[in-house]
Amino acid sequence: MLDIHRDDGPDTKVFFSHSLLPSYIDPQNVSTKKKPFSTFNAQPFSHTLDLILPEEIYEIVKGHVEGTAATAKGVYARVYMKLGEVLQGDFFNEYIKKGNIMMLSEGRPLVDNVFSLYDGTLRLELDRPTYERCGLQGKPIEDGGKKHQKNRWVIEYNLREPSMTHGKKGFSRLEWACKNVLDQSLTWLFYNFNSSAHESLRAGTEPISIHHPTIHAIEPTTTKLPRTLVPRLKASDPSSLYDAEDALALHEYIGMLCLDSPRVSANDSIDPHLSRYEVPTFNGLVELATRDMVRMRWRGFIPPHFVRELFLLVRTAGLKVEKGEIHEERWVAWSAAAFGGAREWTVMQWAGRETLSWECEG
């Protein structure tokens, strides 16, 4: 065997699970511990969110999720500022102490110095020289025993703590580091969880407005996937998909739909020499049907909160189950990719309560 055939590819792990949604979901107080909501929350910053759904469900939900009448609206801003400016004046008081925002700075994870802010917690991921100059206490990132990887450190501060105010000792050290070490201007993405921020951001009356942010709306683009081969999976089927091969094949299939690959089209005829991909039939147990599917794609700085709203909206509008009615084959699939490209999740939701989720790392 040639040495080149050694399997040392990227070590991707997929955490697969089958779960049931709670029988009643209070929209004001959604569970954070149960899947798939825990899946959404585990990935704070997503840059792409895909929704795959059959055209008939799309027709029902499009009024709710697209255009000016959309119930779920999101606005994010791109802004150029220093870390120190986040911790000063109105920005700090209004957004971090009183309000709730999330921010992410540019840079590749595990390569550049990356700063993020989520739920009041400031996270600084630094390389060794910067960490040593900062004089702040942090934790080393586990390197898994890799030999040629530079050590990196993570410093975390909960900025909502009462001790995190101007004049306190710990906070002064952080300010000192921002002023003397982490003093570069960076591009940040900014999202405000306050629902009224939508208008005031555009009006320029927010504390961030002095930094001249560029404001973008998180709006979907719709791609039709006509005549797509779809395995006729029923809501009773997920429990027979526990086999690793089947679960991976289904995950790959949803990935192919998100990619808008011609290989899943019923009209596709490609030589097996060029591609041997086949829509999974799970050992011939599931038939294939030809259906018109739709892919909706949101791009932007997307928080879990936004995903959850959309998920519940699509479920209540499009996956309604009437009493006594059997709609076992209706499902939609969601997929979101995280900044840095290290994480991704996919959730497949049937009408009813069955949920399959895949959380990928690496």
Least distance to other proteins, CB of residue 117, Å: 16
Based on CB atoms, which residue is closest to other proteins, 92 or 301?
Answer: 301
Q: State whether residue 173 is helix, strand or coil.
A: helix
Compute the distance between CA of residue 289 and CA of residue 227 in angstroms, rounded to an integer.
9
Compute the distance between CA of residue 294 and CA of residue 231 in angstroms, rounded to an integer.
16
Based on CB atoms, which residue is closest to other proteins, 46 or 155?
Answer: 46
- CB 158, CB 55: distance < 8 Å: no
- CB 208, CB 65: distance < 8 Å: no
Q: How many CB atoms lie within 10 A of CB 59?
A: 12
Least distance to other proteins, CB of residue 68, Å: 23
Based on CB atoms, which residue is closest to other proteins, 157 or 301?
Answer: 301
Based on CB atoms, which residue is closest to other proteins, 34 or 123?
Answer: 34
Indicate the residue type of 202: R
Compute the distance between CA of residue 46 and CA of residue 339 in angstroms, rounded to an integer.
6
Based on CB atoms, which residue is closest to other proteins, 59 or 243?
Answer: 243
Beta bridge partners of 248: none
Least distance to other proteins, CB of residue 263, Å: 6
Compute the distance between CA of residue 141 and CA of residue 133 in angstroms, rounded to an integer.
18
Assign 3-class secondary structure to 165-228.
CCCCHHHHHHHHHHHHCCCCEEEEEEEECCCCHHHHHHHCCCHHHHHCCEEEECCEEEEEEEEE
Instruction: Give the closest residue to 266 by CA, choosing from 231, 223, 221, 222.
Output: 231
Based on CB atoms, which residue is closest to other proteins, 272 or 324?
Answer: 272
Least distance to other proteins, CB of residue 164, Å: 27
Least distance to other proteins, CB of residue 258, Å: 5
- CB 124, CB 154: distance < 8 Å: yes
Q: Which residues bind other proteins (CB under 8 A)?
A: 2, 4-22, 34-35, 45, 47-48, 50, 78, 106, 108, 187, 189, 214, 239, 242, 244-245, 247-248, 251-252, 255-256, 258-263, 270, 273-277, 299-301, 335, 337-341, 344, 358, 360, 362
DSSP conformational letter for 265: B
Least distance to other proteins, CB of residue 21, Å: 8
Q: State whether residue 358 is helix, strand or coil.
A: strand
Beta bridge partners of 220: 298
Based on CB atoms, which residue is closest to other proteins, 241 or 351?
Answer: 241
Least distance to other proteins, CB of residue 221, Å: 15
Q: How many CB atoms lie within 10 A of CB 164?
A: 19
Least distance to other proteins, CB of residue 145, Å: 19
Based on CB atoms, which residue is closest to other proteins, 247 or 347?
Answer: 247
CA distances from 51 to 153, 255, 291, 296 (A): 36, 11, 16, 5
- CB 95, CB 206: distance < 8 Å: no
Based on CB atoms, which residue is closest to other proteins, 99 or 340?
Answer: 340
Least distance to other proteins, CB of residue 302, Å: 10
Instruction: Give the closest residue to 291 by CA, choosing from 246, 228, 235.
Output: 228
